[in-house]
Amino acid sequence: MLKNYLKIAFRNLWKHKVFSFINIMGLTVGMSACFLIFLYVNFEMTYDAFNTKADRIYRLVTDIKTPSETINTGVTSWAFAPSIKRDFPEVEAFTRVSGGSFLVRKGDIKFQEEKTIFADSSLFEVFDLKLIKGNPRTALKDQFSLVFTEKAAKKYFGDRDPIGQTLLLSGEGFPAVVTGVMKDIPENSQIKGDMFVSMSTLTEKFNKGLDEQWGNFGATSYLLLTSETSGKALEKKLPAFLKNRAGKLMTEMNMHYTLFLEPLRDVHLLSTRGSEDSGSMNNVYVFSLVAIFILLIACINFVNLTTARSVERAKEVGVRKVVGAPRSLLARQFISESILLCLIAFVFAVALSAALIPLFNNLSGKIISTGILSNLPFVGALFIAAVVIGILAGSYPAMVLSSFEPVVVLKGRFTTSVKGILLRKGLVTIQFGISIALIIATMVVFNQMNFMRNRDLGFSKDQMMIVNSEGDPKREAFKESLRGISGIKSTAASSSVPGGGNPGAYSEIENKSGDLQIANLDLYFVDFDYIPQFNLEMAAGRPFSRDFGTDTTQAMVINEAASKLFGYNSPEQAIGRRFKQWGREGKIVGVIKDFHFRSLQEKIKPLTMRIEPRSSDLVSIKIDGGNIKATIAAVESKWKATMPDRPFSYYFMDEFFDRQYRSEERFEKLFFNFAILAIFISCLGLLGLASYSTMQRTKEIGVRKVMGASVGSIVGLLSKDFLKLVLLAFLIASPIAYYGMHQWLQSFAYRTDIQWWVFLSAAALSTTIAFATVSFQSIKAALMNPVKSLRSE
């Protein structure tokens, strides 16, 4: 019986090649898109899931309340985690991590290790980071102990054993010993680094006494709780702990700390205290919906085309019923055909997905998958999904076809029912409604990204080259050596540039009432050339100047947001006001206009600037656009002459600033590509229905042409019914798309409006696509010789 089912199924598929191709193509593309999106969603949802104790690991985070604001930060003071471990038996272990950058040298080999992490010796007790070589208990215990990932270790040692080897760190050449090599860290992990340095190196050598500093924030802290302890229960005990341990400090500083525990698995997608690698649960939801929609469109194609062809198979059903075939047998036959078609699509989908995985990794900017063989459980899930789709999508056509009355169909009086026609029209409307919503969403995403790329940021970032001296004392000599190079317009030095990180400083600034008001303010250390170098405009007062000797020790420049924070109605009112910050006291000499020193997803925050040459490691070089390669070569030559022990590396300011939008750009690209796929599948289904509708009306078209109907009138006749459905879909989809994208835009502090022309363009585009798809068959039918079409009847 099964063999007979398969034989009949293959015969029908081969007989109707066009419809089989459209169905298989639509399901293949739909399954492939769904499979790739599922890989992405699984990657995001399983962040840090490789840690076997993930359900007991919590990130410790802090709210810092000052008289001016409340700061929600993902870091803690250095003293918090060790003290909590000592005071609470509920805490089994803790570890702190902090990012850094080191110049690393071994003979003639030298690299600037940007992915350096300081970590406590308990790192391997809390996280499942597997050491291939070395003892996990002692690998990060002593000062200047190093642990490399496999990939990083090969960079220095090749195939040789790195354990016990000595490397030199930083320009001073501190000797450090390799004590461990770990497996490369999974891509979906919060802990990302190539070289791990013992925390004792930082807390006992570079910044002695850091472990006891309750007001110095900079550590990302994780707690491993005992199996019987709940995070919420421990969190309730932390206010009393802070009052006991840091109450006096908080009173003196007029600040209040509040500690919270975030479950490790929630940090990536759900935490509002974002990091560079933060994900978005909204994006996960969006792509999940897109996957469902694409698969739904493919299934709708199948149902529509199968039921539309019911007239052709009516006689087959009539004959088989006359010879005794029961309805259940016929239904099983049609469902088996549906499953077979879905399984053929499944095979093609697996092959297509395997080919597209490298491209998908590139689009997503992450190694979502190393290949189809590494995702065999998902392939199995897709196989089950294909069978389920075959059963569900084939059930309605099977019910319709198996219900035909043999007496009616064999007499030739069978026609498609009104219910069947309405169902197909409804499904086409749903199809194009989804496609139109995706078109509108794609346009809004594109407009927002374009808005972010082209918005006036308030500073100059073009032709700006940045070189990091990493604290080298020869930095000023290098900067001076650049003077006179023809392609260089100007230079400046600073601790930070827009789009990069910067410290937050405990500050006291005189407010409108004349009192010193406490606030934690963003801080840039700069030199005298920084403000003109970046074309920052003064709102009041003056920039730093070498004409004023006290500017190096007693002057501060703030932005407009800072002047408003302290109650000033105009920037001029802030000039001459007192400040205290990190051991310095003086007066505000200038107020610069607000500029976007962080992403457009954030409101412009209060910013302070001070002259501090020793901390200004970043050299910004404004270059002429005429001969960039020659200018870079000249800069590199001066670098090697001044700082030969350091590798030369640079980046351009515009590219660096735009890095903040990488996740949004990836979202835009992925969303655009999947929207195109959805539209493509919808058009495939529309093409099939138009083709079948035209075939059914062959005689009518012939008669109309004999009666004098023009090609245009026939094309209009065949197209108008489909275009009406597309317009109806537009009316339904538009408000839904508007609401969804309006909610999406709320995550941006600076955003574009959803313009009316977006909907007009979507309507025009969808109508054009639908008309082009339908008219392909309509024109072909209209140009047919009426003698042939009438003879065929």
pLDDT in tens, 148-173: 999 999 989 998 999 999 999 987 88
Helix axis angle, 17-45 relative to 662-696, nearest 10°?
A: 160
Whether the Cβ atoms of residue 593 and residue 514 lie closer than 8 Å to each other:
no
Neighbours of 785 (CB within 10 A): 10
pLDDT of residue 6: 64
pLDDT of residue 466: 96
pLDDT of residue 324: 66
What pTM does this model have? 0.86
- The Cα 91–Cα 56 span in angstroms is 10
Structure tokens at 786: 């009426």
Please give, one letter per residue, the 3-state secondary structure of 653-722. Answer: HHHHHHHHHHHHHHHHHHHHHHHHHHHHHHHHHHHHHHHHHHHHCHHHHHHHHHCCCCHHHHHHHHHHHH
Structure tokens at 513: 């009432």
Whether the Cβ atoms of residue 525 and residue 600 lie closer than 8 Å to each other:
no
pLDDT of residue 240: 96
- The Cα 505–Cα 608 span in angstroms is 9
What stretches in the chain show pLDDT beneath 50? 414, 793
Whether the Cβ atoms of residue 433 and residue 572 lie closer than 8 Å to each other:
no
